[in-house]
Amino acid sequence: FDKIDGVIWYDGRLVPWADANVHVLTHGLHYASCVFEGERAYGGTVFKSTEHSERLKASANILDFEIPWSVAEIDAAKQFVIDKNNLPDAYLRPIAWRGSEMMGVSAPSNTIHLAIAAWDWPSYFDPAEKLKGIRMGMAEYRRPDPATTPAMAKASGLYMICTISKHKAERAGYADAMMLDWQGRVAECTGANIFFIKDGTIHTPIADCFLPGITRATAIDLARRRGIEVIERRIKPEELDGFTECFITGTAAEVTPVSEIANWKFTPGKICEQLMADYTAEVQPKGKAAAAA
Ligand code: PMP
């Protein structure tokens, strides 16, 4: 990472960017005992901060460790990082992991660390440009059976297949890859959830073997507030022929229309456009949005 200025919150202290290091014998590095979050601040306020802090704590618990900071303390630390670095529009990366005291699969008393980094990430985009949609390929790996992995944790180890799949898609000229689940049904993308539209209704896979995104919940809520029906159900890939619009959601992607998945074509239309606009309005800090209205 070539950013070298600014400070990172590291176990309760602010350390210079370049000094926020870990030991090579870190358990999290060897055995993936590591969980993280991806969040965004808009206008100096972290969007859905508490939901992300709660998910981080829950992910750690699923991996059998406890982050020694409360949700309120993590929320405050994130805000502190944004303020100290003067980053009103930023991406935040909180990460928690088992430390390096004991080397071996079992290391129940290793210190649990927490770090929070943030960097500038403005979200201004040209809606017309974004409405052209991104092109996606098919991932070579499937989301694993939740009986074989802690699927509900935002755990580093689960990203191995995402990185491999995304690299392969990018080499083929695509922006991302759609992943199927362990039973061959549509699941999500390598870092975002997926939605399809047919006859004015939104369809999205049931999030039982992949991360139910905070943006996914926001998009479902925004659609329902507009009176659009949202159905969570099993979606087979061959059904993609019948959908007219497609979009993905995630903290980084926000609401991003899709024009193509392998041989399936979509034309981003009114619902994509409305949800993009609604999402942009929703992420504004509430006080400021109200003041501007
Ligand atoms: N799925 C995966 C695999 C992800 O990495 C992300 C991004 N965190 C999401 C879905 C979307 O989650 P969220 O909306 O909470 O960012």
* Prediction ipTM score: 0.99
Instruction: Determine the angle formed by the axes of helices 49-62 and 71-84, rounding to 10 degrees.
Output: 120
Residue nearest to atom 13 of ligand 1 (CA): 213
Q: Does residue 144 share a domain with residue 275?
A: yes
Domain limit, last residue, from 75, 101, 120: 120
Catalytic annotation present for 270:
no
Q: Which residue out of 48, 57, 130, 154 is catalytically annotated? A: 154
3-class SS of residue 107: coil
Q: Does residue 202 share a domain with residue 167?
A: yes
Domain limit, last residue, from 85, 120, 155: 120
Give me the CATH number covering residue 87. 3.30.470.10
The tokens for 105 are 């699969």
Distance in angstroms (rounded) separating the CA atoms of residues 206 and 203:
9
Q: Does residue 268 share a domain with residue 218?
A: yes
Q: Does residue 268 share a domain with residue 137?
A: yes
Residue 240: inside a domain, yes or no? yes
Q: What is the pLDDT of residue 288?
A: 56
193 alpha carbon to ligand 1 midpoint, in Å? 6
Distance in angstroms (rounded) separating the CA atoms of residues 129 and 37:
28
How far does the chain reach from its first CA to its final CA, in angstroms?
39
Residue 205: inside a domain, yes or no? yes
191 alpha carbon to ligand 1 midpoint, in Å? 5
Q: Does residue 260 share a domain with residue 217?
A: yes
Q: Structural domain of residue 239, as residue ranges? A: 127-282
- Strands 264-265 and 254-261 turn out to be antiparallel
Residue 41: inside a domain, yes or no? yes
Ligand 1 neighbours (beta carbon < 6 A): 38, 162, 188, 191-193, 210-211, 213-216, 249-251
The alpha carbon of residue 119 and the mean position of all alpha carbons in its chain are separated, in whole angstroms, by 16
Identify which of 228, 257, 234 has the alpha carbon closest to the alpha carbon of residue 244.
257
Q: What is the pLDDT of residue 150?
A: 97
Domain limit, last residue, from 104, 120, 136: 120
- CB count in 10 Å sphere of residue 25: 12
Residue nearest to atom 5 of ligand 1 (CA): 191
Is 46:92 a contact under the CB 8 Å cutoff?
Answer: yes
Is 210:181 a contact under the CB 8 Å cutoff?
Answer: yes
103 alpha carbon to ligand 1 midpoint, in Å? 30
Is 272:134 a contact under the CB 8 Å cutoff?
Answer: no
Q: Does residue 80 share a domain with residue 222?
A: no
How many CA within 13 A on the CB side of residue 221?
Answer: 8
Strand partners, 256: 248
Residue 146: inside a domain, yes or no? yes
Distance in angstroms (rounded) separating the CA atoms of residues 94 and 187:
25
Residue written as tokens 């009176």?
227
Pocket-testing residue among 51, 56, 211, 220, ligand 1, by greatest number of atoms within 8 A of Cβ? 211
Residue 136: inside a domain, yes or no? yes
Q: Does residue 147 share a domain with residue 232?
A: yes
Per-residue pLDDT of the chain (293 residues; tens, 9 = 90+): 667 789 999 999 999 999 999 999 999 999 999 999 999 999 999 999 999 999 999 999 999 999 999 999 999 999 999 999 999 999 999 999 999 999 999 999 999 999 999 999 988 788 889 999 999 999 999 999 999 999 999 999 999 999 999 999 999 999 999 999 999 999 999 999 999 999 999 999 999 999 999 999 999 999 999 999 999 999 999 999 999 999 999 999 999 999 999 999 999 999 999 999 999 999 999 865 455 54
249 alpha carbon to ligand 1 midpoint, in Å? 8
Q: Does residue 170 share a domain with residue 100?
A: no
Q: What is the pLDDT of residue 216?
A: 98
Pocket-testing residue among 163, 251, 254, ligand 1, by greatest number of atoms within 8 A of Cβ? 251
Q: Does residue 273 share a domain with residue 219?
A: yes
Q: What is the pLDDT of residue 1?
A: 61
The tokens for 155 are 């755990």
Domains held by the chain: number: 2
